[in-house]
Structure 1
Amino acid sequence: MDSLELRTATPSWRQWMLRAAWLLLAMSAALYCAWRFAGPTPLQTNLLALLPATEADPVAEEAVDQLAGALGNRAVLLVTSNDAAHAKAAATQLGATLSASHAFASVTAQVPPFDPGRITRFYLPYRFGMLTNNDRTIAAGSTETLRSALAERLYGLPDAGLATSLADDPFGWLQHWLAGLPLAASNLTVEDGFLVSHRANTTSVLVIGTLPGSAYESNIQRRVLQAVASAESALKAAWPDATIARAGAVFHAEAARRASERDVHVIGIVSAVGVALLMLWIFRSPRLILLGFVSTALGIVCALAATMLVFGKLHLLTLVFGASLIGEAVDYSIQYFVVYLGTRRGWDSRRGAREVLPALTVALSTSLLGYAILAFAPFPALRQIACFSIVGIFVAFASVIGLLPSLLTRPARRSPRTLFAVAAASLAKWQSLIGGRRAWGVALALVVAAVPGWLQLRSDDDIHLLIQREPALVAQERMVSSAVGADNSAQFFVVRGASPEAVLERTEALCVRLATLTGASALSGWQSVTSFVPSEARQRADRAWLGAHVVADPAALHSLMGAAGFRDEVAQAWLDAWARSGASVLHVDDWLAEPWSQPFRHLWLGRSVSTPGAFAAIVVPQGVSAANEPALLDVAHALPGVSFVDKAASVSRLFGVYRQDGAIWLAGALTLVLALLMFRYGWRAGITVALPVWLAIGVTLAAFGYAHMRINLFNMLALMLVLGVGANYAVFLREGAMRAATDRGAVWTGVLLSAATTLLSFGMLGMSSMPALKSFGATLSLGIMVSVMLAPIGTSGVPANQRRKA
């Protein structure tokens, strides 16, 4: 060992300080991650968190979040049997088992005893402001019309539902108004205290569990799923003829979390093992594999810590994508190892780092550009991915330049010279086929072949193609919706105003317009807070209506009611109640304070958090379809303060807009990369280095066209990463050719190994359960394969005998 080897093999105090600094960084990041995962889970499993704010009105976005929260904290189980008694007994057992599990805040199998008279007593003080349209016409009619109303009330058959006494409601107007309350807007009826639905020969009983927290907390998901699975097993043993269907956000969130964790494990393990085996096959050194994974692990741990520090939460999409970052992060260490093994004389680790620094810097710049564009996308999960990837690859780069030289001080004992020689021969042969002057012919041929594919390109921006739910859960959810008879539509109206009264008045105007829709535009119904609380203006108008047409002449009213058969004291009591109710107006807060209003409180949003001085409510239409949705949009546009919200359609439209913008972003990124490469290599050489990745993007798009695969935003964003990652291979080859005494076979081996590890990692995304990541994986894999195949074009103009110091 000569004196240079002795100096580099003996770590100096600076190297020890450097190692200590990196160890401190690794421990800090790892301890922070451990602390975050030890408490409430930072993992975000809410699919809505993937989506951007799509509504121009921030109040509408609040409505989306509040409605999702109100309906997402319940787990609904439907017990069905051909025997009604068995269904009820099984529901009783299910409710008892779930309650005993303590996985739910509350479980309702039987409806608690409730006095319907409470609802009647609540509205009684406001009876003179509650008139149906039909009764408003009767009140304004002739004396004979009023007499008929009294006679029907006195001698007619009692109405089903909420009843009022003759003394309190002699005309039956309050009872008619109460009959219009949407308290039972479903197929469910109460039998023996159970919520029951009868369909054909089957009987279904509803069991409702309220979660103790968010449906997207993994601890709650596990407890709920364990409790439900245990209860189902016990139920099947006791009642073999009973089946259970489930619905609720907690089940979908758990399925998404489970699928994502499986993806993380499969992608992470396969990528790590595959990368290790490839590196072992090429380098034949477990030590180099270990050092390569030290660099990669540093990048991923720091990326995890930084993402959670910046965003607070870590979406599972980010975690799955992060597992695939292994293949790219290890590229930098591979290039350093190639220089290490390719050094024929005394090894100087710091000099080796300086030799590889230009190539890694250019490669890092192109990769950062590709990921930085993701940061400008409006999707929270994509911004997380951008943050994770930028931090991860930057730390991996820094560790290769700053840490590995202090760890790789001893020269290599052996080098795969035979492999390098074979690689050099294959590179020379392949370069003779596609490089030099032939490069432009190859480029022209690929463009000509790609044009028909480009002309066949089609797009599909439907959000449902990108967020896939478990089919079994969707089928069970449909069974529950069918039995309950409730429309699980995600479309609704948001009505806003400067005061609660303004919101109620605008909501009433909206309901009037909805009632006028006919034919294909008609709805099957709607839910609105004004069904429970009319506006103050409406209440005062109804009272004024009665004052003008019924109560204006007390003596005549006494006579009329007496002739109909009512005692005089009843008439007087009704008139006294009228007099006392002069200032009585029902407000929303009064209704919200009633326990029975709980199932409908989501209809009132109240004061806006994002918009000072704004109040809002929602109206949920029933029976929305493609046929009547244009009419609903027209209604919303025609009324002030009203907007129609269809989150899925809004996101799909935004996908389309950003997909089109993505083409512009991609063109701009290609131009920036070209400018960077021209700055580094000169204009002519810069073009030849950029040409492989340009062609790779073109060939990838053509392949999608030929395969009739519709592209979406995620394909366009993946092309950004093809640009950022695929440009590296031509850069590595070019920089290797420019270094003095470089073994081109070693450089080509390193490029192929880098591409193989990246393909292994990103290609695994194609096996993900998330359609968005499948789009990423397919696009990246094809683009990277073409990039590395065409990379030798970038060395055109650098003869084998021409070298210069980098």
Structure 2
Amino acid sequence: MIDKLALSLSQCPIRLKFALWVLFLCITTLTGLQLWQGGAKIQSDILAMLPELKEDPLTETALARVEKQLSNTVYIALLADDESQAVTAAKTLMESLSSSERGAFVDIRSADLNQAQALNQFYFSHRFNLLTRTQAHALSSGKLNELIQQAQSQLYNAFGYANSGLIANDPLLLYPDNLQALAPKQTLQVQQGILLGQARQTDKNSNSTDHIAAIVMAKGVGSAFNPNTQELQMAVLQEALETVKTQNKQIEVLKAGALFHASAATKSAKSEVSTLGLASLIGVSLLVWLAFRSIMPLSIALLTIATSLLSAVVMTLLIFSEIHLMTLVFGTSLIGIAIDYNFHFYCERLAQTNKSANDVIRHIFPAITLALITSVLAYSGIGLAPFPGMQQVAVFCAAGLFGAYITLVLAYPLLASGPLPSGEKPLTMAAAYLTQLNTLSRSLNLKVGVVLLALSVIISAFGLYRLTSDDDIRNLQQSPLSVLNEEQQLRGILSGGTDNQFLLVRADTEELLLQRLEILAPKLNNAVKDGLIGNAFSLSSYLPSRSKQESNYRLQGHIYQQDLTRVIVSLGLDDSLNSDLALAYQKAKGSYIDAGSFIGSDAGKLFKPLWIAPTSQQDEYGAIVLLGGITDIDKLENFFTGQPYVQLVDKVGDISGIMGQYRELTLWLLAIAMVMAAIMFSTRFTFKLAALVVAVPALSAILSLSLLGLIGAPLTLFHALALILVFGIGVDYSLFFAESKQQSRGVMMAVFMSACSTILAFGLLAFSSTPAIHSFGLTLLLGIGFTFALSPFIQTFTRTFK
């Protein structure tokens, strides 16, 4: 069937085919322009590459809230020699950010003095429902005298917080201790509304210097992963920091937040797209020039690449409405693959100078068609990965190859019909290489062959035995060391900060949820003591359950219903307070703190994201418990196994688990693809030759895995995806040798050039600073290298397998 199609195409008028190609080019270009004007964009959000986790509605809501809270907030620490300098620098920074007309940041703050006042105003009316653990124990065990003595010490203490207004409403001064207990335990202090902490820096000579660190926080407007937003926020922040340093050059700055990781990733990706793409283009162009010594092949090669990239970009935008920067980084390798058709065409023309361009295309049409099909199938395997970014890579490269294929079939008969300089020298070198391989294969006797085979099997088996796996999602992007170091130092100042992992507590009713948070509180304290976490923040301190409030109210009845006279006499207060206090206590009965009133007040607005009320999508109550300074996520997960209503939400771990599953699935898909390819090839070749064609890339994949194990590189999903491409690209080499029969010198030259261009493209990816891209490129570098070395031996066996 392929031969008949080749014949039909060869009989089609050359100008008609060229006109069809021009029409294809015009439609593609107009479609691209329309998509771009319609809002298509370049995406740099690394989260857009991640698989979508199928979670229950409550967990999805919690994840969305935490990600929104963490992704858009930046933390700045200004290090100074003394408090006054640190406070001044922080105020200058906050003023500069607030006064910026570009509106890059909102909610710029340090310590919130209004928050303490709001808490006081909210909780004071509920003071009869509040008791600390110590106070509750004293009242329940009949130790009222201890509370009286503590109140007396405050009354006669010149530095105490007692005043006439407070005493008239709270004679035992229980409320201030309850209000103070709400403040999270931390090492930070507040001076003039600025959070201050201690920072120790160590220089290259291991000399430590102590600084005062002023902490400023700001919420970015828009997503930190949007390139335009990043550029705006980084510019505004840089201007504000320059203003600070203008006043005091000695100020040092530490920064933390998703903005700085995302900005570094965007810069790295843009740099790699330009440098790797340009280097690949220059290398391929140089390769074409050295091989054919003519402007026309080089010009047509560049035209093929341009058409390929145009097709890739437009098809990706058409399907996804956006194209990811990582797709462009991976897509730079398309240059080294799309040019393969050009190499095979021109090398065949050099080998068969008596044939026209149209005849040469008819001759190679079956091989390039099968090659296109297998390559597209290979990219389809990548498209099955759960990552939208990798699905884009699959569409990008498959569409790009189709564009190159269409250009070869339709445009080359007219554009590439001109005469070529003599290519006898490179063809002679290719023939000599094949001759040496044939001589080598014949010279090996059975014993030497068996020994070499045994050594290869042993070494490969040892490498496979040493091969490990690593599915950590953080391999997608590695931030620069400077960014990581600054964040680590700032986390130290903030006593661990907040991690991406958190606890989600759920219940069917509000009261049950609050009770579960209270049960969880001592468990969290134990986790801190055991060193599993650095800190935890829970709503249990701010929202006591109704049962606890009722218990506290009853315990305070010992004061206001039974012993109020003794309390007033012991403290030397006016007897007239007796009736007023008793009446206030009575009126407070049944007035409880509830989540709705607290979250809706000025006191609770900062904690609103941590409370999840039922909606039409989900019917459960939920509360988020933030964690910081996690040291061992596995032990921490086991720490809460006795509380089934507590869920450790670890999106990083969940996605990493999915990566492991898809890594295994990808390897199975590779095996299935090889079987299907062997069956498809057997319709054109004998079964033995078809199996041999598939065996070359299969063996290359095994050798690549073995070498990864020998060098200690763990296997990831990206290695597995690259192995699919090793098969999809490498099988082309086998196909061309199988199709060439005994006339192989043109094929050898084309395969050499193709391998060089592919190795150049993917070899450059192996030098990427992004671990995922590095793994992808390194595997293809090894796999294509092995395939190039093994594929010429097929022509040795074609004498037997006809």
The TM tier, using the shorter chain, reads: 0.7 to 0.9
| Residue of structure 2 aligned with 1:530, choices 533, 537, 540 | 540
1:567-622 CA deviation, whole Å, 9 max, x = no partner?
4443333333333334423232322333454544442244579x522332211234
Q: Is the 8 A contact 2:87 2:194 kept in 1?
A: yes
2:760 aligned partner: 760
Seen in structure 2, the aligned counterparts of structure 1 residues 147 and 192 have a Cα distance that, compared at 3 Å, is closer
| Residue of structure 2 aligned with 1:355, choices 363, 380, 385 | 363
1:534-578 CA deviation, whole Å, 9 max, x = no partner?
23443344335555x556xx4754565455444444333333333
2:213 aligned partner: 204
What is the SS of the residue equivalent to 1:412? Answer: coil
Seen in structure 2, the aligned counterparts of structure 1 residues 614 and 342 have a Cα distance that, compared at 3 Å, is farther
**Does residue 24 of the first structure (1) align with residue 27 of the second (2)?**
yes
Partner Cα separation in structure 1 for residue 260 and residue 699 of structure 2: 45
Q: Is the 8 A contact 2:506 2:646 kept in 1?
A: yes
2:66 aligned partner: 67
1:179 aligned partner: 180
1:731-764 CA deviation, whole Å, 9 max, x = no partner?
12212338xxxx5322221111111111111111
Shift of 1:690: 1.9
Task: Name the amino acid aligned to 2:386.
Answer: P
Partner Cα separation in structure 2 for residue 167 and residue 307 of structure 1: 72
1:250-296 CA deviation, whole Å, 9 max, x = no partner?
11111110011001001110111111111122233333333333333
Task: Name the amino acid aligned to 1:529.
Answer: L
**Does residue 247 of the first structure (1) align with residue 248 of the second (2)?**
no
Shift of 1:60: 3.3
2:642 aligned partner: 638
**Does residue 474 of the first structure (1) align with residue 503 of the second (2)?**
no
Q: Is the 8 A contact 1:98 1:228 kept in 2?
A: yes
What is the SS of the residue equivalent to 2:389? Answer: helix
Seen in structure 2, the aligned counterparts of structure 1 residues 237 and 581 have a Cα distance that, compared at 3 Å, is closer
Seen in structure 2, the aligned counterparts of structure 1 residues 526 and 111 have a Cα distance that, compared at 3 Å, is closer
1:157-205 CA deviation, whole Å, 9 max, x = no partner?
47679998223333333332222113x5433322133222245752222
Q: Is the 8 A contact 1:26 1:298 kept in 2?
A: no
**1:201-240 maps to which residues of 2 (within 5 A)?**
201-240=210-249
1:604-654 CA deviation, whole Å, 9 max, x = no partner?
244579x5223322112345323xx55532343222332112344444444
Partner Cα separation in structure 2 for residue 233 and residue 778 of structure 1: 42
| Residue of structure 1 aligned with 2:436, choices 426, 429, 449 | 429
| Residue of structure 1 aligned with 2:733, choices 720, 729, 739 | 729
**Does residue 418 of the first structure (1) align with residue 421 of the second (2)?**
no
Unaligned segments of structure 1, at least 5 residues:
1-6
1:274-330 CA deviation, whole Å, 9 max, x = no partner?
111111222333333333333333333333333344334433222210112211122
Shift of 1:443: 5.9
Task: Name the amino acid aligned to 1:619.
Answer: V
Task: Name the amino acid aligned to 1:88.
Answer: V
| Residue of structure 2 aligned with 1:612, choices 599, 614, 618 | 618
Partner Cα separation in structure 2 for residue 422 and residue 555 of structure 1: 109
Partner Cα separation in structure 2 for residue 149 and residue 376 of structure 1: 72
1:668 aligned partner: 672
Q: Is the 8 A contact 2:477 2:772 kept in 1?
A: yes
Q: Is the 8 A contact 1:435 1:796 kept in 2?
A: no
Q: Is the 8 A contact 1:30 1:301 kept in 2?
A: no
Seen in structure 2, the aligned counterparts of structure 1 residues 55 and 436 have a Cα distance that, compared at 3 Å, is farther
What TM-score results when the alignment is normalised by the length of structure 1?
0.87
What is the SS of the residue equivalent to 1:167? Answer: helix
Shift of 1:88: 3.0
Partner Cα separation in structure 1 for residue 163 and residue 703 of structure 2: 70
2:724 aligned partner: 720
Task: Name the amino acid aligned to 1:484.
Answer: L
1:539 aligned partner: 549
1:1-48 CA deviation, whole Å, 9 max, x = no partner?
xxxxxx9998545642442233222331244246546xxx531233x4
What is the SS of the residue equivalent to 1:214? Answer: coil
| Residue of structure 1 aligned with 2:463, choices 447, 453, 464 | 453
Range with greater deviation from structure 2 (475-484 or 717-726) = 475-484
Task: Name the amino acid aligned to 2:140.
Answer: A
Seen in structure 2, the aligned counterparts of structure 1 residues 42 and 422 have a Cα distance that, compared at 3 Å, is closer
Range with greater deviation from structure 2 (727-736 or 263-272) = 727-736
Seen in structure 2, the aligned counterparts of structure 1 residues 263 and 675 have a Cα distance that, compared at 3 Å, is same
1:3 aligned partner: none
Q: Is the 8 A contact 1:306 1:388 kept in 2?
A: yes
Q: Is the 8 A contact 1:80 1:242 kept in 2?
A: yes
2:396 aligned partner: 388
1:106 aligned partner: 106
Partner Cα separation in structure 2 for residue 128 and residue 371 of structure 1: 68
What is the SS of the residue equivalent to 2:23? Answer: helix
Partner Cα separation in structure 2 for residue 148 and residue 89 of structure 1: 43
Task: Name the amino acid aligned to 1:490.
Answer: N
Q: Is the 8 A contact 1:52 1:378 kept in 2?
A: yes
Partner Cα separation in structure 2 for residue 497 and residue 312 of structure 1: 40
Q: Is the 8 A contact 1:737 1:795 kept in 2?
A: yes
1:520 aligned partner: 530
| Residue of structure 2 aligned with 1:511, choices 521, 533, 536 | 521
**1:560-575 maps to which residues of 2 (within 5 A)?**
560-562=567-569, 564-575=571-582
Seen in structure 2, the aligned counterparts of structure 1 residues 212 and 449 have a Cα distance that, compared at 3 Å, is closer
Task: Name the amino acid aligned to 1:181.
Answer: L
Identity across the alignment (%):
26
Range with greater deviation from structure 2 (266-275 or 72-81) = 72-81
What is the SS of the residue equivalent to 2:502? Answer: strand
Seen in structure 2, the aligned counterparts of structure 1 residues 298 and 152 have a Cα distance that, compared at 3 Å, is farther
Unaligned segments of structure 2, at least 5 residues:
1-9, 201-209
Partner Cα separation in structure 1 for residue 135 and residue 165 of structure 2: 16
Task: Name the amino acid aligned to 2:90.
Answer: A
Task: Name the amino acid aligned to 1:129.
Answer: N
Shift of 1:666: 3.4
Range with greater deviation from structure 2 (390-399 or 775-784) = 390-399
Seen in structure 2, the aligned counterparts of structure 1 residues 635 and 266 have a Cα distance that, compared at 3 Å, is same
1:4 aligned partner: none
1:95 aligned partner: 94
| Residue of structure 2 aligned with 1:344, choices 346, 353, 357 | 353
Partner Cα separation in structure 2 for residue 89 and residue 604 of structure 1: 36
1:45 aligned partner: 45
Partner Cα separation in structure 2 for residue 335 and residue 254 of structure 1: 42
Q: How many residues align?
A: 780
2:204 aligned partner: none
Partner Cα separation in structure 2 for residue 193 and residue 306 of structure 1: 54
Partner Cα separation in structure 2 for residue 683 and residue 17 of structure 1: 37
Q: Is the 8 A contact 2:463 2:710 kept in 1?
A: yes
| Residue of structure 2 aligned with 1:683, choices 677, 681, 687 | 687
Task: Name the amino acid aligned to 1:283.
Answer: F
Seen in structure 2, the aligned counterparts of structure 1 residues 412 and 588 have a Cα distance that, compared at 3 Å, is farther
